[in-house]
Structure 1
Amino acid sequence: MLKFSGIILACAALLGGANSVALAHGEKKSGTAPVVKEQTDWGIAGDASMVVRTIDVSMGDDMRFKPGKLEVKEGETIRFRVNNTGKLLHEFVIGTKAENAKHAELMLKFPGMEHDEPYMAHVDPGRTGEIVWTFNRAGEFEFACLIAGHFQAGMVGTITVAAN
């Protein structure tokens, strides 16, 4: 009986936690919770006070980013100012090619999937979003809109991080 009760409690905790941890696409963060800084293969959430430059990126209903190729240096903290010029919700998600492809597949299966990470900006039509990111690893990375169908339509760009 104890084992069964433990399973029920664990399931309840997971279900309750899933609703409170993540946001759906387009929803705005409420409160002033600090950004969780977790090292990824493509870098870590940056501090606004450490920004060395701002890169403006636009995205539209033609399923393209402008510019589509970005170059940064290892160690740079970049502010991405992402403008949605379209009439549809779009997003700017930084990751590896493999991670973005995996996430895009999940978005096809679960288009209302809730999530919010410091390397993602969900931007409503006519609005501007922002990400501050530190590229502390050299390599070829990607930014993409992972909303169902957008990634598959080619809404992808590249970030080259040059080693120091």
Structure 2
Amino acid sequence: MKRNFLPSLLLSSIVCAFTISTLTIPSLSHADTQHRQTTDTDTAGSPGKAGAASRTIHIEMADDMRFTPSDVTVKQGETIKFVVANKGKLVHEMVIGNAAELAEHAQLMRKMPDMKHEEANQITVEPGKTANLIWKFSKAMKVDFACLEPGHFEAGMKGKVNVIVSK
């Protein structure tokens, strides 16, 4: 009696292809679209060097889903050291970007809540801890920042950096 292995082989191939696609597609979509390195045109600036910081701005994050202050002004060309303190009991983060990118990324974070950020334009701060984010603002414009932990952005945890022309 001859056995036809073609149906078994075909079924095995389909199962294998489906398994691989479900494991890789979600991680690739986030890495390719959201965790690319931020460029100068994205956020009016670039990662700064600690020694080049012209001043320090203290930002507090709390479980009322607010940054304090939520509105800061810097000069074009200025390198700022943000000292970001988490006064709450939840993990919070400060991510610098434009409003559209932050809103899109916030949606993605709801789908992948365990995702960790390690880019120069963002800092994750554990409860009761403080961390530094150093950024050089190169263009006069409004730049947004937000917490993208799931639900925090939607609850209003956002702020603005007003980058003014230096004289």
TM-score (norm 1): 0.76
What SS does the aligned partner of 1:153 have? coil
Distance 1:149 1:77 in 2: 30
Give runs of aligned pairs for residues 15-54 of structure 1, distance below 5 A.
38-42=39-43, 43-54=45-56
Cα deviation code 1:66-98 (max 9, x no counterpart): 001010010000000000000000001111111
Native 8 Å contact 1:41 1:137 kept in 2: no
Distance 1:61 1:37 in 2: 28
Supply the AA of the counterpart residue of 1:102.
E
Report the Cα offset of residue 39 of structure 1.
2.9
Which structure 1 segments of 5+ residues have no match?
1-10, 23-35
Supply the AA of the counterpart residue of 2:135.
W
What SS does the aligned partner of 1:41 have? helix
1:102 to 104, 109, 114: 104
Instruction: Tell me the C-alpha RMSD between the 2 structures.
Output: 2.1
Which structure 2 segments of 5+ residues have no match?
1-19, 32-36
Native 8 Å contact 1:94 1:144 kept in 2: yes
- Deviation >2 Å, runs of 4+: 36-41
Distance 2:117 2:64 in 1: 25
Native 8 Å contact 1:74 1:138 kept in 2: yes
Report the Cα offset of residue 50 of structure 1.
0.7
Distance 1:114 1:127 in 2: 17
1:121 to 120, 123, 139: 123
Distance 1:116 1:152 in 2: 22
Partner of residue 31, structure 1:
none
Distance 1:61 1:103 in 2: 20
Larger Rg: 2
Cα deviation code 1:128-154 (max 9, x no counterpart): 011010001111111110000000000
Supply the AA of the counterpart residue of 1:41.
D
2:138 to 112, 128, 136: 136
TM-score (norm 2): 0.75
Partner of residue 86, structure 2:
84
Q: If each structure's helix is expressed as a fraction of its own residues, which one has the higher value?
A: 2
